[in-house]
Structure 1
Amino acid sequence: MGSDSHYQIPTIDLSTSSAKLARGTEKWFSLCKRVREACENYGFFELVYDKIPLELSAESFSVTREFFSLPLETKKQDVNPKSFHGYYGQHPVAPLYESFAIEDASNYESLTSFTEKMWPDGHDQFLNTVIGMVNKLDELHEMIEMMILDSYGLGENQDSIMACETKLRVSRYGLPPSGEYVNGLNAHTDKQLTAILCDDQVSGLEFETKDKSQWIKLSLPPSSFVFIVGDSLMAWSNGRMHSAKHRVMMCGEKERYSLGVFAIPVEGTIIKAPKELVDEEHPQLFKDFEYMDFTKYSTSEEAMAAAESAMHIWSFAGISS
């Protein structure tokens, strides 16, 4: 069961009201250092950010609930051959969980196509609310990416972190049996570069500590988000950053909804550590690899057999010492 101990989760305030976050200032580099340390020592952190209005977040969850109330046959029209893309639900290993994912979600045409597939007559409120939320989260992601580059002294090399597109995933976790504490989503690490998540104030997200000693429950206030390091960013950083294992556990009498944007390396991207992050003290830990090859491997039988810790990246691209 998740721990309620006083484990200090990093909280980083990027609110415009707290300080001007002009790049190159002393405040900027101080925050860059904190972001880097959180990514290296924890693999995630709570992010306070006030440029996304609470009204926009609330409206995003309102239209999300409307989507999940559609008939099952309508939701199943969202089909994608890629694993865990499109609609996912009604699965015996995660019976409480259903979600949908939209590729290139910051692209208006892509989101319009999805909306018209779900609502043939269109749904302007859904379209405009979601594109507004995704664009705000994209801005936040770009800021954190620049902080990571600056924290390693790579800020002038804009190509150091691979080009990405945005995948939106919105999830629903149904009610568990009364009085029970049950799995909503299995423990896993994200394969992508990064994720930024928020929820509807119903807790359930838990992270495993880096030393694997305990699971920590995370409860976010309305103005906060959680930033998560994915396997691809860990490989890019030559193992300096920690890809955090996380899960969702459900209890109580409320459904849970969450929304997340994932930075997905574009097709054909080769993930490799910058030469500045490889030295005698930090020898190369991963082979260069193509992102899509890794995602295909991660859902293969070979990966499942090798996944003692759900860290498929090590069995796929790790260099033996």
Structure 2
Amino acid sequence: MVGSTIPRRAFGRFLRSIREQAGATLLTAGLEIDTSKQTILRLEDGLPTKVSTPQLKSLLDMYSVTPAVRAEVLELWEELKQQAKVAKLQGVSTGWWQAYSRQYAPYFNHYLRLEAVADHLTSHQLVFIPGILQTPAYRRSLIENALPNLPEIDVSSRLELAARRQERLADNTFRVDALLSEAVLRHRIGGPAVTREQLQRLQEAGAQDNISIRVVPFNAGTHSGYSVDSFSMLEFPPLASRLVEPPVVYVEGSEGALYLEHAEVIARFRQAVVSMKRVALSENDTHDLVSSIAKEYAP
């Protein structure tokens, strides 16, 4: 099931900590169970592997874990295996976005998996409206500008993918905090009519209880947001086990993307969010500014 992404990643993180405490390398762990270090890395990254239960037990022997830790690892492992079986029977062992895999870069597949199970998205944008809040016309303009020769069938598929992502906004347990530079509102993506429609969509979205949209105005002064690029921070609900899945910061560039997870890095991004919220307009004042700019694009 799609939701198994988070428990699997938490399990992998747990297993990595055990290996590191034992002083074992990826290479030595792989040799212990007659597999590659890449397989061990995939296991610890929470990605599907062909590692068997006997192989996992051999790893635990190598790591010289205590009986209590061994029992905990194997119990979590059995839970993951049961989840995988149920997902396969239900036909949801892969995410719905896999049907659109031709329409996005390989690195974005991981983001879609994380977004599907996150319960809080914080999006800081300097140039564009966050993807999850874009109108079809706004999105189309971005696609056609980046890929002017893309066939219409592929453009339509990308718009369908965006629409499917936006279905999560109807779930009140999924919170969105959007922090937008004022520049985002003033970029005329697709021309006046498209921009006006997009700004009106922002106003509608901001009226939802689970969505907060705040603008950092040009006259806000110095704040920590200047030290970071556009980014998305994904946070996750508690797991049934004692394991905790930490937030992930996603930073996308023209040639690829970064997934940042180290605690000190996350702390810096959290501080940037706090700093930007300190100088951002309130939700009501943001609504008024968006409305005012939208009127500038009236026919």
Same fold? TM cut 0.5: no
Q: Please indicate the TM-score interval, normalised by the length of the shorter structure.
A: under 0.3
Q: TM-score, structure 1 length as denominator? A: 0.26
Query: Greater strand share, 1 or 2?
Result: 1
